[in-house]
Amino acid sequence: MVDITEELKEIVHEIVEAINPSRIYLYGDHAYNSKDTEYSLCILIGASSKKEIGNEIEELLSNKTYKPTNVLIQDRNDFKNSAKVEGTIEHTIVNEGLILMF
């Protein structure tokens, strides 16, 4: 079972407050309890501009002293379609990642 750190809870809370995403996944090494790695988050959004949202999240996280965080921003409909295809990062995230926020 993955231990969700207070820091990660705070990051998710700040992202939710700032952009109200559809869903947030934790994926990669940290999702498997490797605490020495950066956080890898996949953030699903609606029809908003991914670049605009990405800039907002980058600014939000850069003002804090968090562990390095890799952020992948995806349109929720594109993500859902890609997740059906084995071998895609989206498929791996859905099947091996951890949902942090619905």
CATH of the domain at 17: 3.30.460.10
Domain region containing 40: 6-101
Number of structural domains in the chain: 1
Whether this prediction's pTM lies above 0.95 is answered by no
Quote the CA–CA distance of 35 and 5 in Å, as a whole number: 9
Residue 59 lies in a domain: yes
Q: How many residues does the chain have?
A: 102
- So what's the pLDDT on residue 102? 61
pLDDT classification of 1: cutoffs 50, 70, 90: low
Quote the CA–CA distance of 36 and 54 in Å, as a whole number: 24
| pLDDT tens-place string over residues 55-99 | 889 888 887 877 888 899 999 999 999 999 999 999 999 999 999
- So what's the pLDDT on residue 26? 93
